[in-house]
Amino acid sequence: MAAGGAGAAGLLALPAAAAAATSSAAQPPISETDRLQRLIRLEGLLLYCYRHVLASGILAPRARRTLAPFPGHEEAHIAALERVLRARGGTVPPGPDSVATANRYLANRGVGGRLGQLKGHSDALYLLLTLEQVTIGAYFVALTKLRDSELIQLACQIMANEAQHDAMIGLTLPKATPGSAVPYGLVQGLQ
């Protein structure tokens, strides 16, 4: 279903899980500490974008009310991941400290739309929606490699929460319904 659409749009790349399998000979394996740092960086970017969009006043009141708790959720995800990372002796990466840095990170991750240049409500929602899907994709890829049971469970809990955010953002789009907000039977995010 989804593969056809992606192929038609010329976007279909090798799924990350498959890519990881095929490229393992060429690249050294990524440690769990590295994976945690990657996830924290992404969560930090998501948090920054939520805060920026919510503070910008660009969202319609209903969407603003819906999204208002989400930065708190992202903070909790970061705190939980940081605890695990520190317990393993890892260094916590900083989040973006400016719009320019956040926009550079968005560009690096292939996410269109830039903070400070959003044209309106829908632009802001689609940026957040895409970034949520990129985040879900990062957890999906991480789950193919993580080995620690507690970390796997934590990654699942956060991935599922990001998927709920994704659905709720979808529900704030014009004429959306609870059914249309959950359009796929399997969610792996964008990779």
According to CB under 8 A, which residues from 57 to 86 bind another protein?
A: 66, 69-70, 72-77, 80
DSSP 134-182: HHHHHHHHHHTT---HHHHHHHHHHHHHHHHHHHHHHHHSTT--TTTTS
Please tell me whether residue 23 binds another protein under the rule CB under 8 A: no
56 vs 157, which CB is nearer to another protein? 157
Does the footprint of another protein cover residue 11 (CB under 8 A)? yes
Contact call for residues 80 and 63 (beta carbons, < 8 A): no
Spatial separation of the C-alpha atoms in residues 19 and 35, rounded to whole Å? 16
Residue 133, amino acid = Q
Q: Which residues contact 8 (CB under 8 A, 6 or more apart)?
A: none
**Binding to another protein, residues 120-139 (CB under 8 A):** 122-123, 126-127, 129-131, 133-134, 136-137, 139
From 23-31, 54-62, 85-93, 160-168, span contacting another protein (CB under 8 A):
160-168
Query: Nearest to residue 12, comparing CAs of 1, 20, 3, 21?
Result: 3
The distance of closest approach from Cβ of residue 116 to another protein in the complex, given in angstroms and rounded to an integer, is 14
- Residue count, binding to another protein (CB under 8 A): 91
Cα–Cα distance, 182 to 191 (Å, whole number): 19
Q: Is 188 a residue that touches another protein (CB under 8 A)?
A: yes
In the complex with another protein, the residue whose CB is nearer, 7 or 94, is: 7
Applying CB under 8 A, among 30, 92, 99, 176 the residue interacting with another protein is 176
